[in-house]
Amino acid sequence: MRIAVLALQGAFIEHIQLLQSMGVEAFEVRQLGDWQQPHDGLILPGGESTVQMRLLRSLGLLEPIRQAISDGLPVFGTCAGMILLSRGYLDTMQAQVLRNAYGRQLGSFHTVGKVEGIGNDIPMTFIRAPYFDSLLSSDCQPLATIDGHVVAAQQGHQLATAFHPELDNDARMHQYFLQIVLSHCSQDSSAAS
Ligand code: GLN
């Protein structure tokens, strides 16, 4: 299994290190040539969504990535990565986000919460985070709610969190994502046989 990690800006190294500590091969995507390497899943890290969108466009990565996700590539977006998946950005998740939803300056905090299907007491580090202000399709399901706001959701092969699981010493969110990737790989091989 090989996971592509978008590495234009933001907290990508932490994702790569966490995946490697789990024995999973991960590589950085900085340009189109990187993206063309074989991969089974994609992580869109936190950072600054406006900067990431601009770089994706100028590097010619926006459309190939959008198309791959639309075609079923498993993707995990954290914070700015969650914004990228949403309406008005890559637009692959049927969901609307509110950026900097907790305020710009004092909007960073840490809590623990339950994530549906994953577990209780999941550490959640929020850094100038968004939340989902509406899920626009029943295909897009909330997985976690903090103070009445949806901070994690899943739409089929797409997983998104407003928090940064790569910054805490808990691999359960990544393990969950890798299960999505594995089940996608096995669907592909049964379709090919
Ligand atoms: N505030 C950032 C944005 O709007 C997201 C912050 C983050 O990824 N930690 O893109």
pLDDT at 191: 67
Q: Judge whether 7 and 30 are in contact, CB under 8 Å.
A: yes
Query: Which atom of ligand 1 lies at the shortest distance from residue 104's CA?
Result: 1
Nearest CA to ligand 1 atom 8: 46
pLDDT at 103: 79
d(C-alpha 60, C-alpha 70), whole Å: 17
Return the CATH architecture of domain 2-192. 3-Layer(aba) Sandwich (3.40)
Residues designated as active site: 79, 164, 166
In the numeric block, which tokens belong to residue 56? 């994706």
For ligand 1, say whether the CB of 18 is within 6 Å of any of its atoms.
no
Query: Which atom of ligand 1 lies at the shortest distance from residue 47's CA?
Result: 8
For ligand 1, say whether the CB of 127 is within 6 Å of any of its atoms.
yes
For ligand 1, say whether the CB of 45 is within 6 Å of any of its atoms.
no
Count CB atoms within 10 A of the CB of residue 47: 23
pLDDT at 106: 64
d(C-alpha 18, C-alpha 130), whole Å: 23
Candidates 40, 27, 44, 35; CA nearest to 64 is: 35
pTM of the model: 0.96
Tell me, letter by letter, the H, E, C secondary structure of the chain. Answer: CEEEEECCCCCHHHHHHHHHHCCCEEEEECCHHHHCCCCCEEEECCCCHHHHHHHHHHCCCHHHHHHHHHCCCCEEEECHHHHHHCCCCCCCCCEEEECCCCCCCCCCEEEEEEECCCEEEEEEEECCCCEEEEECCCCEEEEEEECCEEEEEEECCEEEECCCHHHCCCCHHHHHHHHHHHHHHHHHHHHHC
Hey, where are the domains in the chain? 2-192
For ligand 1, say whether the CB of 44 is within 6 Å of any of its atoms.
no
Q: What average pLDDT values come out for the chain (193 residues) when binned by 10 residues?
A: 97 98 98 98 98 98 98 98 98 97 81 97 97 97 97 98 96 98 84 62
Residue whose structure tokens are 């954290």 = 78
For a pocket test of ligand 1, which of 127, 161, 168 has the largest count of ligand atoms closer than 8 A to its C-beta? Answer: 127
pLDDT at 192: 61
